[in-house]
Structure 1
Amino acid sequence: MKFTPLFLVATLFAGGYSMTAAAAEQTLLEALQPYCGKAFAGKLVTQAPEDATMAGQALIVHVADCRNGEVRMPFHVGEDRSRTWVLRALPQGLQLKHDHRHQDGSHDELTMYGGISADPATGLAQHFPADAYSKLMFQALGRTAAPANVWSFTLEPGKTLIYRLSRPGREFAVAFDLTRPVALPPPAWGAADRVL
């Protein structure tokens, strides 16, 4: 199965996507509001061999776009501006999606994967097991271990924001220092034409 941008749009909007959610479900989103428009440097807190090239590069999160019920955070790895984390408050809970783009703004083959939080909505630590769409895409692309992915964000207000990927045999985590904003990076690839 080929995962095209049109397929992604149809999939994400199927079932009546809504931006309305109970206020309690927006706790993490609301806690991120003071950081909107700012960027922060991060460092790897895991040491997996597959992340060795990332360890020597600047890691920056830009809390770039905050709107009602949604926060977009590009994650820059050196000059690579392909990744954006998208958090949305949905009726069924807080959703995380990974928006991956090429330099020309087009979608990467592996994009918009993520899940709905499995944690109480009021927490500042949220875990997102891979949803059915993500598992289907991973399987179609031969990513046989990835269906077990669980991503998480942990926010310690005024201190750190930690992003983590966990699955059996794989651990990746980067911690961003919220005490000291850094210079804003260039926009993420495809930021100007994002519709989702």
Structure 2
Amino acid sequence: MGHREDLLEGAKRCLMEKGFVRTTARDIVKESGTNLASIGYHYGSKDALMAQAFVELVQEWGEKFDPADRRDTEDGGSVERFRDVWARMLETLDESRPVWAASLEVATQGERLAELRKLMAAAQIEGRSGLVAMFTGRDEATLDEHTVRTLGGFYQALLNGLMVQWLFDPASASTADDLTAGLRQVIEAAAPEK
């Protein structure tokens, strides 16, 4: 592994142990066995490196519960698939708590992390696309901008809300069955009366 990869792995470990706010460039250098100049050379800034580390951690987390068959399926977006994806997500939340806590740090730190927030906002679009693919089985490459913004935004809002519930109190957070029952109620309420 070269300095670029070492820095990224070191930043991931720091993010999991210390979060965004408490991690310094020196922490990353110590954890990666590299030098301070490497951060600027390979990533431009500590915040850009931390943003990349966060994105990769979220992608690694997503791979743990992503359905094995992401190709188009007959149930693409079924209520059963909705429940199954949420169930897999919830099974991994314990080990991913540091990642979600770090994302709340970015969201709540305001102007203090302005550069990082800008980088994370751009990564948010990619996250929406991945969520649509997981919940529907559709290939990300086939998704149009409208679908990513609307359906992806819907799934992302649910995920972020669940994350906050779970970080505050896992015991009272919604379960996959709760979310599915809620979705069924929304569908029924939206259906035209006969």
TM score, norm. by length of structure 2: 0.23
> In proportion to residue count, which structure has more helix?
2
Q: TM-score of the superposition, structure 1-length normalised?
A: 0.23
> Rg larger in 1 or in 2?
2
